[in-house]
Amino acid sequence: MIEVEITTIIAKAKYISPEHVPVQYGGLSVDSCDCNSDFTHEDTATEITVKPTTKQTVEIVIYERCTIVWEIRVVGWEVMYGAEFVPENKEGYTVIIQKPRKMASGDEPVVSQSFKVGEVGKILLTVDNPTSNKKILIYRFKVKPLPCE
């Protein structure tokens, strides 16, 4: 069942970008009443194929103090998802934003998170696919500068 869903999504992805596909069909688009006001249809998403029994890490480099927001979806879920901030300063501490946890197909289809960054570094979004099926990782992010203090 899930393999058929992924194959259908891959076929449709050639013609429609994920930010225009409704959540219930494997995309990131939600009804305006449920909408994450941080994102619109104009905010493009990136798709990555996560091969069976591999780990995929998305690295978002941060060059300024800001708030970063992101949405992530894995078609078919059944993966482990985690997020952390790694400062550029070697003396800084890594901050775990989301402890790795199993994401099942019954969980929320799109995970939306944000993090206030106070120094230069990078956000690492990690998806571990322990299954024997490939998965489609769809994500997008937006950097919002912090107001002047």
Q: What is the mean pLDDT of the chain?
A: 82
Residue 122 has pLDDT above 80, yes or no: yes
List Cα–Cα distances, 126 to 54, 56, 65, 75, in angstroms. Answer: 11, 6, 22, 15
119: domain CATH number? 2.60.120.680
- Is 122 within the bounds of a domain? yes
Predicted confidence (pLDDT) at residue 90 exceeds the cutoff of 70: yes
Q: Which residue has the higher pLDDT, 81 or 37?
A: 81
CA-nearest of 149, 145, 81 to 112 is: 81
Per the domain annotation, does 76 fall within a domain?
yes
pLDDT computed for residue 14 by the predictor: 58
Q: With 70 as the cut, is the pLDDT of residue 84 above it? A: yes
As for how many domains the chain has, the answer is: 1
Q: Supply the range of the domain harboring residue 113.
A: 45-145
Residue 59 lies in a domain: yes
> Model confidence at 32, in pLDDT bands (50, 70, 90)?
very low
Residues contacting 134, CB < 8 A, separation 6+: 6, 49, 50, 51, 52
User: What percent of the chain lies above the pLDDT cut of 90?
Assistant: 53
Residue 117, domain member (yes or no):
yes
Question: Is 50 among the domain residues?
Answer: yes
Kindly report the pTM of this predicted structure.
Answer: 0.77
Q: In the structure, what pLDDT confidence band is assigned to residue 110 with cuts at 50, 70 and 90?
A: confident
17 class by beta-carbon count within 10 Å (0-12 exposed, 13-18 middle, 19+ buried): middle
Q: How many residues does the chain have?
A: 149
How far is 28 from 54, CA to CA, in rounded Å?
23
| pLDDT for 26 beyond 90 | no
Beta strands in the chain (DSSP E): 46-50, 54-62, 66-75, 79-87, 95-103, 111-117, 121-129, 135-145
* 140, 45 contact by CB (below 8 A): yes
